[in-house]
Amino acid sequence: MASSSRSYEVVVFGATGFTGKYTCEHIVSNLPTDLKWAVAGRSAEKLQQLVKELQSAYPDRLAPEVETASLDKSSLKKLAAKTKVLISTVGPYHLYGEAAVAACAESGTHYLDVTGESPWVLDMIKKYDSTAKSNNAIIIPQIGVESAPADLLSWSIVTHARRTLSAGIAELIFSVYDMKAAPSGGTFATAIGIFDAYPISKITEASKPWSLSAIPSPPQATASTTPLVQKLLGVRTVRDLGTLTTSLQGGADATIVHRSWSLFDSGKFYGSKFKFSPYVHVRNVFTGILVHVALAVGVLFLLLPPVRWLAKRLVFQPGQGPSRDASRNDRVEYRALATVDSEADPRDPKRITGRLAWQGSMYQLTGVFLAEAAVTLARDDEFAAKQVGGGFLTPATLGAPFLERLQKAGLKVDVRVMP
């Protein structure tokens, strides 16, 4: 990348949106004051208004530059050529996201987004992975609440197992232990719009746990070991994690974690038996069954166009979301339990626990992920993504420098071998 000739280190495209604003706030409140950055979007007037708000909240900071850009590729190529890293918060991505990915892949610009739309990610990898690789553009989709926590906690556990026990991981059970949050209009529009945009066969194909893996899945991954009762009722009880059930975002998280599995030494670093199993924690078996059934019925209803039409009118509209006051006590805590792939003692394998927690709005957390990943890409060098050089990578490939920055910003991460 001819980075020295670029005007900016970071550009936030979609800065005027709900997530874009949180991202800009984190940049002005936490990132180095000498960062060269710009806000970008389709409306110069809205962008100027945003700059005014940022300046009045943080009067000591230099104001960001303003760049207007439309969704056509030539406009986005001009924008991408001006920066080392482009953050895109313009969604739904399956409607508006492709031109930014193409522009970055062709211009050798690193790219970050917060989609959770697996069918779209699958299409983008097929279309632009080799272009991005040949131009050394690091493209990291899904670096929001979907799927950075799952990917980073899994990577932290695997790294801990390698460092302390010289072993990989067999199964990593991941659970959303506690979450208080409400979705924005943009998130609703995206989740519902998926069913307008793709046939159910494509959604099913892209939601398979290994759909985004860069290499074929390990043989045991295709052999289903899930008991029939769990398949039907969705509930599993795990010592030290409690009662678990089907997770709404588990499918999207699994595709990214398994892509990370494939990117680190072709699966050898995570382990040849590695498998990521995502759930949500519930109080008891009855609640677990209810959640599992409600999710299945919800998806069936969303297949019906009139239900989608009605749902779009009943929720927040794009640009809106939960107020700062309403989000004040939001929080999330993830817990994971991993079984070490132990050749020395296969009948009594060691176990590793992990916890990742955040106090505050999920959209603020998404902005933190985006901003800290951008500065990692712009200024740091010692992590896997830079060694790979380019292509469609994952949050975990930003490694320790990214995690350290996140911890300074308030993310709690704790990993230990169980006694």
Ligand X SMILES: NC(=O)c1ccc[n+]([C@@H]2O[C@H](COP(=O)([O-])OP(=O)(O)OC[C@H]3O[C@@H](n4cnc5c(N)ncnc54)[C@H](OP(=O)(O)O)[C@@H]3O)[C@@H](O)[C@H]2O)c1
Shortest Cβ 71–ligand X spacing (Å): 5
Shortest Cβ 194–ligand X spacing (Å): 10
Q: Which of 85, 145, 406, 415 binds ligand X (CB under 6 A)?
A: 145
Shortest Cβ 18–ligand X spacing (Å): 3
Which one of the spans 24-32, 40-48, 233-241, 405-413 is the region binding ligand X (CB under 6 A)?
40-48
| Residue 212 interacting with ligand X (CB under 6 A) | no
| Residue 91 interacting with ligand X (CB under 6 A) | yes
| Residue 64 interacting with ligand X (CB under 6 A) | no
Spatial separation of the C-alpha atoms in residues 259 and 241, rounded to whole Å: 25
Spatial separation of the C-alpha atoms in residues 376 and 386, rounded to whole Å: 10
Which one of the spans 88-96, 132-140, 346-354, 387-395 is the region binding ligand X (CB under 6 A)?
88-96
In terms of Cα–Cα distance, which of 237, 254, 245, 244 is closest to 293? 245
Shortest Cβ 235–ligand X spacing (Å): 26
In terms of Cα–Cα distance, which of 100, 58, 24 is closest to 374? 24
Tell me whether residue 170 or residue 411 sits nearer to ligand X (CB atom).
411
| Residue 193 interacting with ligand X (CB under 6 A) | no
Shortest Cβ 17–ligand X spacing (Å): 2
> Token pair for residue 250?
């588990």
| Residue 235 interacting with ligand X (CB under 6 A) | no
In terms of Cα–Cα distance, which of 87, 160, 104, 92 is closest to 369? 87
| Residue 20 interacting with ligand X (CB under 6 A) | yes
| Residue 399 interacting with ligand X (CB under 6 A) | no
Site for ligand X in 109-138 (CB under 6 A): 114, 116
| Residue 366 interacting with ligand X (CB under 6 A) | yes
Compute the CA torsion angle 220, 226, 227, 228 (nearest 10 deg).
-110
| Residue 141 interacting with ligand X (CB under 6 A) | no
Q: Which is it for the CA torsion 310, 313, 315, 317, positive or negative?
A: positive
Shortest Cβ 318–ligand X spacing (Å): 3
Shortest Cβ 122–ligand X spacing (Å): 16
Tell me whether residue 318 or residue 410 sits nearer to ligand X (CB atom).
318
Question: What residue has token string 């309403």?
Answer: 326
| Residue 364 interacting with ligand X (CB under 6 A) | no
| Residue 96 interacting with ligand X (CB under 6 A) | yes
Tell me whether residue 139 or residue 170 sits nearer to ligand X (CB atom).
139
Shortest Cβ 54–ligand X spacing (Å): 15
Spatial separation of the C-alpha atoms in residues 166 and 262, rounded to whole Å: 19
Which one of the spans 139-147, 275-283, 381-389, 411-419 is the region binding ligand X (CB under 6 A)?
139-147
Shortest Cβ 335–ligand X spacing (Å): 19
| Residue 42 interacting with ligand X (CB under 6 A) | yes
Give Cα separations from 214 to 130, 305, 410 (angstroms): 12, 34, 32
Spatial separation of the C-alpha atoms in residues 40 and 208, rounded to whole Å: 35
The residue type at 171: E
Which one of the spans 4-12, 42-50, 261-269, 402-410 is the region binding ligand X (CB under 6 A)?
42-50
Residues across the chain: 419
Tell me whether residue 19 or residue 243 sits nearer to ligand X (CB atom).
19
Tell me whether residue 242 or residue 318 sits nearer to ligand X (CB atom).
318
Which one of the spans 23-31, 240-248, 313-321, 340-348 is the region binding ligand X (CB under 6 A)?
313-321
User: Using CB under 6 A as the criterion, which residues of the chain lie in contact with ligand X when the complex forms?
Assistant: 14, 16-20, 41-43, 46, 71, 89-93, 96, 114, 116, 144-146, 184-187, 190, 318-319, 321, 363, 366
